[in-house]
Amino acid sequence: MPRLLLLLALLTPICGLALYLAPYARSQDVPFKLYSLFATTFDRKPTHSPDVGLLFEAGAREFRRKIVAVGDLHGDMPNAQTVLEMAGVVDSGGHWTGDVDLFVQTGDIIDRGDDTIKLYHWMDQLRDEAQAAGGMVLSHLGNHEWMNVIGMSSLYVFPSEIKTFGSIAKRQKMLSSGSIGKSWAANYTVTSRVPLHPALGPPNTDYDPALARSPLSHAALSFVHGGLAPSYPDLTPFPSRINALGHSLLHKLQARDPPPPHPPHPYPGLPEDATPSEHRLYATDGPLWYRGWAVDPEAEVCAKVDEVLEKTGTRRMVMGHTPDFERIVSRCGGKIVIIDTGICHAYGGVLSALSIDYTLTPTSERGWREREVVTAVYKHRREILADDVRELQGDFSMN
Ligand SMILES: *[C@@H]1O[C@H](CO)[C@@H](O)[C@H](O)[C@H]1NC(C)=O
């Protein structure tokens, strides 16, 4: 027994160091063995350190992570507040509760309602509050954000919304060089890969096919506004390839002189120096506009979905864009989840949020049980869309 104690005393600083470094390391740099050694050896203490807090919760050896996602908000602050509150992301004052590890919004915050400015600023506030509490907000640009930065500012926008900016010109300025445009450039992406487990690295770590033999290699979700089409040529490396295209295209759009609003002026289109890949990003089959996962027949969709999940290193794809006004739509056993339910009053859909509750629990010295519960949260009811349990044998070093 004294030998065991000696071993523990020696391991303590090593494991502490591993825990400290884990959030900074990319997944391939973190040996799974090191992580599992820590996980099986020590009781975790609750921590408020931002990086570590995201990875570990109080309560011995079980790991938990809670992700909440919300679809198209389209300028409706009161409904957005209701939705985030009922999903536990914010309190009644609109502040981050800390009960959720990651909050994801899949784009289309703008247009159809008058609260565009308020909503973007609120998302920025939540991003800061989340960061301070060890959580994270992941924001995405939808086709409506892109349409506006391209210059289609009067096609979908209500005159009352334009008034909140002052004028169309002021609105365009705020979406390019102003506070909203700066926030888009710094903190919004086209897509995300969100890990269920920290062994995969921080959010938006690229999927590395060399790690495919690890049982946790695909323990992640993708989020995007429209959809990741099987035919889309720029899927990999996921998600950095798509997000690099989004970043460069947004920069070109924000840097050009704002074109006169369309209509009545002609459709300005993408900048002249946009590359073919940037055009594909914004095309019908690109991640911002694709609707195939929502509208194609079940057999067709389910025959194609695994290929995309495989390539992107994920188990599920979550998207907005194609509304169902009654419910969150789950297809192919929850591999595809469509979360646009027309939350904005202009659509009169149902108020909804998606909750993903992940746990990894030790069952024996070398055995672990993974559980993912995917729940549609509505105002007065909840519906479990998937409850998947996997048994993992061995430790995390089995790759
Ligand atoms: C991006 O988010 C970070 C973290 O919350 C924040 O500190 C920063 O100010 C944001 N950047 C912009 C331009 O909004």
Ligand 1 atom closest to the Cα of residue 137 is 5
- Polymer length of the chain: 399
Ligand 1 atom closest to the Cα of residue 187 is 1
Ligand 1 geometric centre to CA of 119 (Å):
15
Whether 187 is in the pocket of ligand 1, judged by its Cβ within 6 Å, is: yes
Ligand 1 geometric centre to CA of 149 (Å):
20
According to the model, what pLDDT value does residue 153 have? 66
Whether 179 is in the pocket of ligand 1, judged by its Cβ within 6 Å, is: no
Whether 124 is in the pocket of ligand 1, judged by its Cβ within 6 Å, is: yes
According to the model, what pLDDT value does residue 41 have? 28
Q: What is the pTM of this model?
A: 0.85
Protein residue closest via CA to atom 14 of ligand 1? 183
Tell me which H or E stretch contains 64.
strand 63-70
According to the model, what pLDDT value does residue 395 have? 65
Whether 183 is in the pocket of ligand 1, judged by its Cβ within 6 Å, is: yes
Mapped onto helix, strand or coil, the DSSP state of residue 330 is: strand
124, 131, 177, 254: residue to mutate for ligand 1 pocket, most atoms within 8 A of CB: 124
According to the model, what pLDDT value does residue 54 have? 38
Domain boundaries, the chain: 2-393
Of 1.25.40.10, 1.20.1440.130, 1.10.3720.10, 3.60.21.10, which CATH number belongs to 2-393? 3.60.21.10
Instruction: Provide the pairing of β-strand 136-140 with 316-319.
Output: unpaired
Whether 131 is in the pocket of ligand 1, judged by its Cβ within 6 Å, is: yes
Give the number of other CB atoms < 10 A from CB of residue 347: 18
Whether 299 is in the pocket of ligand 1, judged by its Cβ within 6 Å, is: no
Whether 127 is in the pocket of ligand 1, judged by its Cβ within 6 Å, is: yes
Protein residue closest via CA to atom 4 of ligand 1? 128
Q: Which residue has 């914004």 as its token pair?
A: 282
Ligand 1 atom closest to the Cα of residue 182 is 13
According to the model, what pLDDT value does residue 116 have? 95
According to the model, what pLDDT value does residue 2 have? 43
Whether 383 is in the pocket of ligand 1, judged by its Cβ within 6 Å, is: no
Ligand 1 atom closest to the Cα of residue 183 is 14
Instruction: Provide the pairing of β-strand 188-189 with 191-195.
Output: unpaired
According to the model, what pLDDT value does residue 154 have? 62
DSSP string, 144-185: HHHHHHHT-TTTS--HHHHHHHSSHHHHHHHHHTSHHHHHHH
Ligand 1 geometric centre to CA of 139 (Å):
12
Long-range CB pairs of 338-343 (<8 Å, 24+ gap) are: 338/71, 338/293, 338/294, 339/69, 339/70, 339/71, 339/106, 340/71, 340/72, 340/106, 340/108, 341/71, 342/72, 343/70, 343/71, 343/72, 343/73, 343/74, 343/76, 343/79, 343/80, 343/83
Ligand 1 atom closest to the Cα of residue 127 is 5
- Separation CA 329–CA 319 (nearest Å): 10
The Cα diameter of the chain in Å comes to 83
Protein residue closest via CA to atom 2 of ligand 1? 187
Please report, in tens digits, the pLDDT of each residue of the chain (399 residues total).
345 444 444 444 443 333 333 333 333 333 333 333 233 222 333 333 334 333 333 334 789 999 999 999 999 999 999 999 999 999 999 999 999 999 999 999 998 899 999 999 999 999 999 999 999 999 999 999 999 999 886 667 888 999 999 988 899 999 999 999 999 999 999 999 999 998 899 999 999 999 888 889 999 999 999 999 999 999 999 999 999 999 999 999 999 988 887 878 888 999 999 999 999 999 999 999 999 999 999 999 999 999 999 999 999 999 999 999 999 999 999 999 999 999 999 889 999 999 999 999 988 888 899 999 999 999 999 999 999 999 987 665 323
- Separation CA 276–CA 387 (nearest Å): 41
